[in-house]
Structure 1
Amino acid sequence: MKILAISGSGRQASTNTAMLRTIAAIACGQHEVTVDSDLARLPVFTPDREGDALPAEVLRFADLIRAHDALIIASPEYVRAIPGGLKNAIDWLVSREELVGKPMALAHASHRGNDMLAQLRLVLSTVSDGFSPGNFLRIDLINMTPEQIDARLRLPENTQAIHAFLAALYQQVAASTAVG
């Protein structure tokens, strides 16, 4: 299964991006996970640039999503809301078909952030019937370095949780393929 793991953080030293990179490493051999952590490359959404005027960066992002079987989204909470870059990326795809039916799940690297998660679940369930709010991986990694994050995620109980999370996502993909 080919999974695109999207980080909603714009930080270079993002906890969510580090988490996704370790998930990709742990999944290696069973699943191909590509981490996308550069939502800042997308211009600010405006409906006037959809259709024939679609920016090349947006088209590349849409093609990246289309090329994968499923999405994992991991995001911090900014001011109790979805970060602007992630919301902007989703806005660009609302009137397109890449997200429709695409199996999606959330991962979260904090013990807090419930307001953002509620908003993100609402948005994703609106844009895709492939979003599974029940498939959720949460491991508190706040204030850790990327090396500490990697070590924490490689603990047996966390590796087991990651494999269960990916297995549930695989089941989502299998179910969507059987229907489609």
Structure 2
Amino acid sequence: MDAKPLFLYALCGSQREVSTNRRLLTILRDHAPDGVTIEICDLIGDLPIFNPDREGENTPEIVERLGAKMRDADGVIVACPEYAHGLPGGLKNALDWLVSRDEVPFKPVMIAHASHRGDFALGQLTEVLKTMSFDIVAEAHLRIGLLGKDDAAQAAVLDAAMRDGVIVNALAKFCGHVRKVSLYKGI
């Protein structure tokens, strides 16, 4: 029996077009195994600032679209840089919009990080995701040091990570966990 196709939704904490975290998500998307689709979220930069008065019947349409993508996702990948020893505001804002909704509790999440540093942000991100009741898949944590390297050096690091199986193995572990959770839930 063929495995159920998986849809993974990827949130990038950096909104820069050429960010290292976006590059890492693009590599994951482009090397996803057969039957796995990864879509990189393009909504974060356009979300209004979170305001509890705008929830419920007052929820902005773009937030509803984000919620629908999260609901449809079998799992979520979050790639997050560190800004001033913290989470980027846009990513935190997106997560704040999802806190009181029902799309994310117990949804598997993989953390990807494109730097050799950033422990403050990773600690904060982990705490926020735990508080939101995401199912953090620690064995799929992916950390590759791309920050501070030019394009050629980044390509060399990514090529080595692909050759060594680091990227593919992390994604395979995550997909295996997502499939196991889906079977358990009877999905």
Q: What TM-score results when the alignment is normalised by the length of structure 2?
A: 0.88
Aligned residue for 2:48, secondary structure, equals coil
C-alpha displacement of 1:146: 5.3
Check whether the contact 1:5–1:74 (CA below 8 A) recurs between aligned residues. yes
For 1:20 and 1:166, the matched residues in 2 are separated by: 11
Please say if 1:142 is aligned against 2:147. Answer: yes
Residues 119, 15 of structure 1: alpha-carbon distance in 2 compared, 3 angstrom cutoff: same
In structure 2, the partner of 1:89 is 94
In structure 2, the partner of 1:107 is 112
Check whether the contact 1:153–1:159 (CA below 8 A) recurs between aligned residues. no
Deviations 1:112-170 (A, max 9, x none): 00011001001101112422234210010013355653453233655611111111111
Structure 1 window deviating more from structure 2 (51-60 vs 136-145): it is: 136-145
Amino acid corresponding to residue 169 of structure 1 in structure 2: F
Structure 1 window deviating more from structure 2 (24-33 vs 164-173): it is: 24-33
Could you list the structure 1 runs, at least 4 aligned residues long, displaced by more than 6 angstroms after superposition: none
For 2:38 and 2:50, the matched residues in 1 are separated by: 27
Identical columns (%) = 37
C-alpha displacement of 1:89: 0.3
Residues 98, 159 of structure 1: alpha-carbon distance in 2 compared, 3 angstrom cutoff: farther
For 1:15 and 1:101, the matched residues in 2 are separated by: 28
In structure 2, the partner of 1:79 is 84
In structure 2, the partner of 1:49 is 54
Residues 150, 27 of structure 1: alpha-carbon distance in 2 compared, 3 angstrom cutoff: farther
Amino acid corresponding to residue 64 of structure 1 in structure 2: K
In structure 2, the partner of 1:34 is 39
Structure 1 window deviating more from structure 2 (84-93 vs 65-74): it is: 65-74
CA RMSD in angstroms comes to 1.9
C-alpha displacement of 1:100: 0.8
Amino acid corresponding to residue 10 of structure 1 in structure 2: Q
Amino acid corresponding to residue 105 of structure 2 in structure 1: V
Check whether the contact 1:18–1:150 (CA below 8 A) recurs between aligned residues. no
Please say if 1:154 is aligned against 2:159. Answer: yes
C-alpha displacement of 1:41: 0.7
Please say if 1:170 is aligned against 2:175. Answer: yes
For 1:153 and 1:36, the matched residues in 2 are separated by: 22
Check whether the contact 1:152–1:158 (CA below 8 A) recurs between aligned residues. no
In structure 2, the partner of 1:128 is 133
Q: What TM-score results when the alignment is normalised by the length of structure 1?
A: 0.91
Point out which structure has higher relative CO (alpha carbons under 8 A, 6+ apart): 1
In structure 1, the partner of 2:70 is 65
In structure 1, the partner of 2:3 is none
Check whether the contact 1:19–1:149 (CA below 8 A) recurs between aligned residues. no
Residues 146, 35 of structure 1: alpha-carbon distance in 2 compared, 3 angstrom cutoff: farther
Which consecutive unaligned segments of at least 5 residues does structure 1 have?
Answer: none
For 2:146 and 2:101, the matched residues in 1 are separated by: 34
Please say if 1:14 is aligned against 2:19. Answer: yes
Residues 62, 145 of structure 1: alpha-carbon distance in 2 compared, 3 angstrom cutoff: farther
